[in-house]
Amino acid sequence: MQIADRLAPLQANVFADMDSAKTQAIAHGKKIIDLSLGSSDLATPPHVLEAIATALQDPDTHGYALFNSTHDFRVATAEWYEQKFGLKVDPDTEVMPLIGSQEGTAHLPLAVMNPGDVALLQDPGYPSHAGGVYLAGGIIHPMPLLAENGFLPVFSDIPQAVLAKSRMMVLSYPHNPTTAIAPLTFLKEAVAFCQQHNIVLVHDFPYGDLCFNGTSAPSVLQADPEKSVSIEFFTLSKSYNMGGFRVAYAIGNAQLIKALRQVKATVDFNQYRGILRGAIAALTGPQDCVEQVVDTFASRRNAAITALNAIGWSVPLPAATMYIWAKLPLSLPHRWATNSIDFCQALVAQTGVALAPGRGFGQSGEGYVRFALVHSPEVLETAIKKIGEFVATSEQINEPKAATSKELINK
């Protein structure tokens, strides 16, 4: 049986390997504290669930959901953007529902790239961004994100030969995994750069609401109010704890929305209309539920950073997202400071604590691990204490065995 060559780049998956490591740890009796996946443990707001439950009794929601049946959701989305960012959006031509943001990041390359075209992707970055490019037959040029640059790419470092073939750039701020926020000035720079080189600018925006201590994250459409080259993906998974409902949307350049609709039309319809009614309730209803989400993750962030400092890990306080991006201490034994995969696999095997290795997000992620703040402060503190004990024990095992008195005499 022949399998398509386009699947070859998708064979290696660090997170699948980590899943196997977790399974083996469970088989050996370890209780897993899983901090490796960014799946929120918080409940969906009651008024959202009520809207979905009420829709179940309405037979009008039981059929296929074609584009026209999503009109109310698209209007709610456009109004939400206008209220939040001061942007005028046409719900008929500039908004499209998605079955999760990953549908957008996977399908858009099929709409804008030909085989051999280049996509400019963040390194480290969210792994699914690369998958859609590979399926479209595209080539990836990584843009390194370094701490000294605020985890922002340096556009002048991109070779002209690469730019000549580039058709798409993907950014995502607040950023997973580094937690960085991009200022509006940077997004304006990105828009100008993409306009100059005729590149589609994609902004994946799932953590737009998860900002702490009075900070805020701009929409890329604030940098491109004419929507000349930009499209943004927003999901209700994080702000409203609706990950399992798979509801998101694309918003931006009308030509890109139309092209994305053409791809989607050959693959699927939309999700159940009752879910869209729940999403409308989320966007138009009281927003104190979002504030509660932000406060919860801020509390967890504070507890985790304090616990990390207590075991000797110096980690900056994240300004956004539901993650901590921690640089592995250079003092770690077994060369773990430069091998995040080995560290994470050894850690889960010995302690049951599962982290995401930075290498899984790209070459520039090596030397880091990502903590997902998906447990209570008490569980996070327990997990980090286990990490400290694991490192201390490993350092002792790694130390050369002390010579006995008899061995010293015989030297």
Distance of CA 190 to the CA centre of its chain: 20
pLDDT of residue 406: 37
Q: What is the mean pLDDT of residues 291-320?
A: 96
Q: What is the mean pLDDT of residues 109-123?
A: 97
Pick the closest to residue 247 from 118, 387, 394, 100 (CA basis).
100
pLDDT of residue 9: 83
pLDDT of residue 396: 66
C-beta of residue 316 within 8 angstroms of C-beta of residue 178? no
Q: Tell me the two tokens of residue 50.
A: 């009520």
Structure confidence at residue 401 as a pLDDT band (50, 70, 90)? very low
Q: Tell me the two tokens of residue 101.
A: 């943001």
**pLDDT tens track for 281-298:** 999 999 999 999 999 999
> Going by C-beta distance under 8 Å and a sequence separation of 6 or more, which residues neighbour residue 269?
64, 65, 66
**pLDDT tens track for 239-273:** 999 999 999 999 999 999 999 999 999 988 899 99
CA distances from 219 to 123, 171, 184, 275 (A): 21, 11, 8, 25
* CATH entry, 47-286, from 3.40.50.300, 3.30.450.20, 3.40.640.10, 3.30.750.210: 3.40.640.10
pLDDT of residue 294: 96
Q: Tell me the two tokens of residue 352.
A: 């049951």
C-beta of residue 328 within 8 angstroms of C-beta of residue 336? yes
CA pair distance 384, 377, nearest whole angstrom: 10
Residue 234 scores a pLDDT above 60: yes
pLDDT of residue 268: 87
Structure confidence at residue 191 as a pLDDT band (50, 70, 90)? very high
CA pair distance 282, 357, nearest whole angstrom: 33
**pLDDT tens track for 162-172:** 999 999 999 99
Least confident interval from 97-106, 143-152, 195-204, 221-230: 97-106
pLDDT of residue 18: 85
C-beta of residue 181 within 8 angstroms of C-beta of residue 174? yes
Q: What is the mean pLDDT of residues 214-238?
A: 96
Average model confidence (pLDDT) across the chain = 92
List the chain domain ranges: 5-42+289-395, 47-286
Least confident interval from 5-14, 72-81, 120-129, 345-354: 5-14
pLDDT of residue 32: 92
> Going by C-beta distance under 8 Å and a sequence separation of 6 or more, which residues neighbour residue 19?
none
> Going by C-beta distance under 8 Å and a sequence separation of 6 or more, which residues neighbour residue 245?
44, 52, 236, 271, 275, 278, 279
Distance from first CA to last CA of the chain, Å, rounded? 65
Structure confidence at residue 201 as a pLDDT band (50, 70, 90)? very high
Residue 10 scores a pLDDT above 90: no
Superfamily for the 5-42+289-395 domain: Aspartate Aminotransferase, domain 1 (3.90.1150.10)
* Strands of the sheet with 356-357, listed across from one edge: 323-327, 368-372, 356-357
**pLDDT tens track for 19-34:** 889 999 999 999 999 9
Q: Tell me the two tokens of residue 183.
A: 């200022």
Query: Rounded to 5 degrees, what are φ and ψ at 403?
Result: -75, 140
CA pair distance 108, 132, nearest whole angstrom: 8
**pLDDT tens track for 55-84:** 999 999 998 888 889 999 999 999 999 999
Structure confidence at residue 398 as a pLDDT band (50, 70, 90)? low
Structure confidence at residue 38 as a pLDDT band (50, 70, 90)? confident
pTM beyond cutoff 0.85: yes
Give start and end residues of each alpha helix (H) in 62-205. Answer: 71-85, 101-112, 128-135, 160-163, 184-197
